[in-house]
Copies of this chain bind each other. A is one copy, B any other.
Amino acid sequence: MVYLTRVEHFNAAHKLFNPNWSREKNEAVFGVCANENWHGHNFDLYVTVKGEPDTDTGFIMDVKKLSRLIKEHVTDKLDHKNLNLDVPFLKGKMCSTENLAVGIWNELIPHLPEQVQLHCIKLYETPRIFVEYFG
């Protein structure tokens, strides 16, 4: 079993804001992250799949195909978007990096080829904060 990781990027705006709470409570809990006019990040996305190398190619899967699948099913939906307003799979959820990683897992997993399993979604919000989700 070998693990293969592809790193992709996207830029997005978001805010941390619970609509069931007053603005005061949102600011008390989320601080500057609750700014009503939004802020944003350069996100780094690490997608790891695992499988057995194929004898003919040496690949567990073609990393160019993995990159295309991530673009089609994940980053095209997130890049240069507002995570709170523009992303159907985040509707009704808090726009935390935790929930975003779980959402990316769910978007990607139906589209991966049979010969690999999705192992991990790792998502950097800043160079000093990241989350990992293993399903």
Across the interface, which residues of B come within 8 angstroms of A30, CB to CB?
57
Q: Which residues of B contact A37 (CB under 8 A)?
A: 13, 81-82, 85-86
Contacting residue for A39 out of B1, B82, B102, CB 8 A: B82
Interface residues of A, dominant DSSP: mixed
> Chain B residues with Cβ under 8 A from A113's Cβ?
none
Copies of the protein in its oligomer? 6
The answer to whether A131 and B42 touch across the interface, beta carbons within 8 angstroms, is no
Expressed in whole angstroms, the Cα–Cα distance for A57 and B99 within the complex equals: 10
Residues of A37-65 contacting chain B, CB below 8 A? 37-42, 48, 53, 55-60, 62-64
Contact partners of A130 in chain B: CB under 8 A: 4-5
For the complex, give the distance between the alpha carbons of A135 and B86 in Å.
39
Q: Is the CB of B6 within 8 A of A128?
A: yes
Interface residues of A in 80-103 (CB under 8 A from B): 80-82, 85-86, 93-99, 101-102
Apart from A4-B97, A40-B41, what 14 extra A-B contacts exist at CB < 8 Å?
A1-B134, A2-B131, A5-B131, A5-B132, A6-B128, A6-B129, A11-B40, A11-B126, A20-B56, A38-B82, A39-B82, A41-B42, A53-B98, A59-B94
